[in-house]
Chain A
């Protein structure tokens, strides 16, 4: 597999958009740099005191409203434009397209562990197909880590006890760096992984082969189903829309949930995780405050599996 340029070459459409923002800011700031420093250097040369001349300024101007208006107004417009352009492209970075494939990433001192939907795990190497949107769900097993793909211009910290995400859609096959940018101790600079981007057909073939080799491992959602049965969650929660002691899980994921205190929250990964570990924190309107905590009973990777299972209940 050829090694793609990882330094300057943008490896996705979003990455090129980010580069465009960079160039836009570069042009604006270069203008201000040349304008101010050019004037500064010109003034130093032009108005330098020369021997034999009277040592007195030839102007005593201390204010000029028009000039000051311009140098408040023009930079204000420039920074407003930079903010807005940066914001719009960032919306693309943060908005995961529908139908994105999900890969769970657990960062730990000092490696990245990836888990595919079929339940397989790999260390420091993850494969994705060209042209397919892939979402990485990040969490950390210990301290903070920074999941950084320079060629894709994306980065997100992995935080213990919560989920964060990044997504990408690779344009070209190749091998790309994954670095750790959030200081995490002795092995920080050796915490490097590879993203291997494959042509779709070859990727599907590879994925089938790997799934077959690893058939003893349950797919993530199936593992979640087993966890749910073992822990007795279904005594209170249904999967088919029936209302029991607690709310049903059907269509729960990413839905709006009205809480007792009148607020609404989105039932995302972090919400479900908190409900499992600290159910007293929020109560859904119309339901009793009776759910026990599963802290110390359920493991981190089991929570991830349960979330994967709940996602399938549509």
Chain B
């Protein structure tokens, strides 16, 4: 499929070894190094956010403040949410894996604007520092910052949202960079319908980021103005409206859930054909459904507000459009499964995570209709049912997709193979821990347990114990997975250029790739899923 590709000897310098020293990283213009810097920062905060999550679960082992006060608990669950959403789930796949792999997958030497890319990672780092500064008065509003509470609390809301504002700017610039890169820097012959599906999903994600992120930026500016100058945008006593904040917030934050899930869907669309040795089924349907999800994701934000005091007409409108998102999501799942039909399926760790993604994301997806339907949302809203639902989509979906991607691309990024046995042990613990922790919460929510409660009636305790024990199994799995990541940097077997037998361009260059990616830009004559077929 590729003409003019020359394999480099692995002894030649790669992007990791060509230059050395801290400043060679801080001032690098190489998209791969920038991706790795994002990855290290973001995975660190994944572990930090995870510790807060474990503390939340630990407190809920008993019904009555056995470990911490209400106030401390409120800070813990808020920090868990804020860190996981803004410092981990939103940026991880686009900023880290996207930066590293978009140019490689489309046959480019770098992104369109390498200096802007470096500026983006600096902005992100600055945002992270500001967010850390806000821990002096830990925030206690929940990650949703609903007014009037967020306008009144003594916590450092202004500083925190200022930090997120900076990260938002970084997100917008990165998205812009990706859009231009995908339009302008595709290798000769790589038409839109020869793009790897990961690129399609990153394209859809970038469009959402460019359109929606400015809205949350403005919302946070208004909240800061309200706190600093007492302007009553959201304060009914001054003629403002608290629901206005919710509309603004969810106008961003609902599309943002597609920013979280679409890139993971892109990874799955790459992994399933590689490990089935078979062309992807329904390429155009998967590609266009990403765009459809990106579009219809803007029409459904009100389903977060069915019991908030919106007009009845708005409730009906938003419920109706919410269901329109279900169909393109379903199409992707059907296509992935159809891809495996009569394939030659290899159960390496990336594939196992990809299958886990499909399994648990489908549970997350299928519990959506309970919350999208008006009658059942009324009792389930703001209960553990919602907590379970979004952990199935975010943890069961995005995070499993991320883990699939990390195991899939680790040899390319580091030049080393992971230890399969350790990886599979970690997977088993993560899978079991995840289900024990979160499946239970659907039932807990149906029984009426509200979310964000530090204390609870004793009749819910048995289920809380189950979830807390599950969180320990999950944590053990994640620790083992990270141990494997770190250990194999040095001890892993040397990775060949293409250990999985994949057809996409990143596997046609050495592992790790040289700084300029390609000795010669390849000419593309086919799509990246042309696996051969044998007759039975």
Binding site for B on A (CB under 8 A): 6-8, 17-18, 21-22, 25-26, 28-29, 32-33, 36-37, 39-40, 43-44, 47-49, 53-64, 67-68, 71-72, 75-76, 79-80, 82-83, 85-90, 93-94, 142-144, 146, 148, 150-151, 153-157, 159-162, 164, 177, 179-190, 192, 278
A83, B319: Cβ atoms closer than 8 Å: yes
Please give the distance in Å from A149's CB to the nearest CB on chain B: 9
Q: Interface size of B by Cβ–Cβ distance < 8 Å?
A: 92
Residue of B141, B239, B323, B529 touching A83 (CB-CB under 8 A): B323
Does chain A have a CB within 8 A of B320?
Answer: yes
A185, B149: Cβ atoms closer than 8 Å: yes
Chain A residues, CB < 8 A from B457? 177, 192
Q: Are A47 and B341 CB-contacts (below 8 A) given A18-B378, A56-B534?
A: yes
Q: Are A36 and B375 CB-contacts (below 8 A) given A56-B533, A142-B148, A184-B149?
A: no
Chain B residues, CB < 8 A from A90? 315, 373-375, 378
Please give the distance in Å from B220's CB to the nearest CB on chain A: 18
Per-residue A-contact encoding for B205-247, CB less than 8 Å = 1, 0 else: 0000000000000000000000000000000110101110000
A29, B366: Cβ atoms closer than 8 Å: yes
Q: Are A157 and B309 CB-contacts (below 8 A) given A8-B447, A189-B455?
A: yes
Residue in chain A with minimal CB distance to B321 = A83
Residue in chain B with minimal CB distance to A43 = B340
Q: Which of B322-347 touch A at CB < 8 Å?
A: 323-324, 326-327, 330-331, 333-334, 337-338, 340-347
Most chain A C-beta atoms within 10 Å of own C-beta, residue among B140, B363, B376:
B376
B379, A18: Cβ atoms closer than 8 Å: yes
Chain B residues, CB < 8 A from A63? 281-282
- Assembled-state Cα–Cα distance A125/B323 (Å): 39
Q: Are A71 and B334 CB-contacts (below 8 A) given A22-B370, A82-B369, A153-B378?
A: yes
- Assembled-state Cα–Cα distance A43/B275 (Å): 13
A72, B327: Cβ atoms closer than 8 Å: yes
- Assembled-state Cα–Cα distance A241/B99 (Å): 72
Binding site for A on B (CB under 8 A): 70-71, 74, 140-142, 146, 148-149, 152-153, 236-237, 239, 241-243, 276-283, 285, 307-309, 312, 315-316, 319-320, 323-324, 326-327, 330-331, 333-334, 337-338, 340-347, 355, 358-359, 362-363, 366-367, 369-370, 372-379, 381-383, 446-448, 450-457, 459, 501, 529, 531-536
Chain B residues, CB < 8 A from A94? 312
Most chain B C-beta atoms within 10 Å of own C-beta, residue among A47, A94, A184, A192:
A47
Q: Are A57 and B277 CB-contacts (below 8 A) given A32-B366, A75-B327, A185-B153?
A: yes
Chain B residues, CB < 8 A from A154? 378-379
Residue of A61, A153, A156 touching B309 (CB-CB under 8 A): A156
Q: Are A150 and B447 CB-contacts (below 8 A) given A58-B342, A188-B70?
A: yes
Please give the distance in Å from B351's CB to the nearest CB on chain A: 9
Please give the distance in Å from B68's CB to the nearest CB on chain A: 12
A146, B342: Cβ atoms closer than 8 Å: no
Closest 9 CB pairs of A and B: A161-B236, A86-B373, A150-B448, A90-B374, A59-B342, A189-B453, A89-B375, A181-B382, A57-B278
B152, A143: Cβ atoms closer than 8 Å: yes
Residue of B142, B323, B379 touching A153 (CB-CB under 8 A): B379
- Assembled-state Cα–Cα distance A175/B316 (Å): 33
Q: Are A82 and B373 CB-contacts (below 8 A) given A56-B534, A90-B378, A159-B242?
A: yes
- Assembled-state Cα–Cα distance A49/B333 (Å): 22
Residue in chain A with minimal CB distance to B358 = A40
Chain B residues, CB < 8 A from A189? 70, 450, 452-456
Chain A residues, CB < 8 A from B341? 43, 47, 59, 61
Residue of A26, A37, A49 touching B362 (CB-CB under 8 A): A37
B70, A186: Cβ atoms closer than 8 Å: yes
Q: Are A144 and B382 CB-contacts (below 8 A) given A47-B344, A60-B278?
A: no
Q: Are A80 and B323 CB-contacts (below 8 A) given A182-B382, A188-B70?
A: yes
Chain A residues, CB < 8 A from B374? 86-87, 89-90, 93
Residue of B140, B340, B375, B447 touching A21 (CB-CB under 8 A): B375
Chain B residues, CB < 8 A from A88? 375
Residue in chain A with minimal CB distance to B530 = A60
Q: Are A60 and B369 CB-contacts (below 8 A) given A177-B448, A183-B149?
A: no
A155, B381: Cβ atoms closer than 8 Å: yes
Chain A residues, CB < 8 A from B447? 7-8, 150
Please give the distance in Å from B459's CB to the nearest CB on chain A: 7
B327, A47: Cβ atoms closer than 8 Å: no
A159, B308: Cβ atoms closer than 8 Å: yes
